Amino acid sequence: MENNPNSSRTDRKTIERNRRNRMKALYAKLNSLVPHQTPTFQEATSSLPDQLDKAANYIKRLQMNLEKMKDWKDSLMGIENRPCSRTSMSSGRTMEGFRSPQIEVHEMGSAMEVVLTTGLDFQFMFNEMIRLIHEEGAEIVSASFSVVHDSVFHTIHSKVGDSDQVGNETARISEKLKKFVHDATAF
């Protein structure tokens, strides 16, 4: 076999030409994905760095719009102070609206009162608490919540049963609720 230096040089030139053509096609594809107000001859012939700047600015605008839309959605759903949009603590949660849930269970014979205090970021717990109490066979008599500043106070009144085992039932339900709150707040 003969080692031809011209052949090696031609191969490198071909490889480089193919790479440049591929990059040119990718830049053109990127440029076609960025909307233009009025396509003019100047935009069609704008330099590659200008096209990349326009694409980068467009992506940044999309990201800002997405954040605004998420904040708007959260405000409509009653969720305030999303973790990524405020001053963060070391765990990644926000300082505002963050409160570790606290639960109190009061047993009064066959009646049970559950008081759950949370921050705005733990509103899902109210529904889960009702579900758990119902699954354990207790009858929900009333359920309500109140929001004061960055705290949510949930109150659930339920009737456990009429049997002699009421004390054991309320204790069992109380433990399950407390375990649920503890598990939900463990990061």
Quick check: 14 pLDDT over 90?
Answer: yes
128: closest CA among 81, 80, 179?
179
What are 86-129's pLDDT values in tens digits? 333 333 334 444 567 888 888 887 888 989 888 777 667 788 88
Mean pLDDT of all residues belonging to the chain: 77
The CATH number, out of the four listed (2.130.10.10, 3.30.70.260, 1.20.58.390, 3.40.640.10), of the domain defined by the range 102-185: 3.30.70.260
Quick check: 18 pLDDT over 90?
Answer: yes
Quick check: 73 pLDDT over 60?
Answer: yes
User: The whole model's pTM is what?
Assistant: 0.46
Pick from 72-76, 110-114, 141-145: least confident: 72-76
Q: Exposure pattern of 75-92 as b/e (b: 16+ CB <10 Å)? A: eeeebbbbeeeeeeeeee
DSSP-derived pairing of the beta strands 139-148 and 102-108: unpaired
Domain limits, CATH 4.10.280, in the chain: 5-76
pLDDT of residue 8: 82
Domain limits, CATH 3.30.70.260, in the chain: 102-185
Domain 5-76 has CATH 4.10.280: yes
Q: Which residues contact 24 (CB under 8 A, 6 or more apart)?
A: none
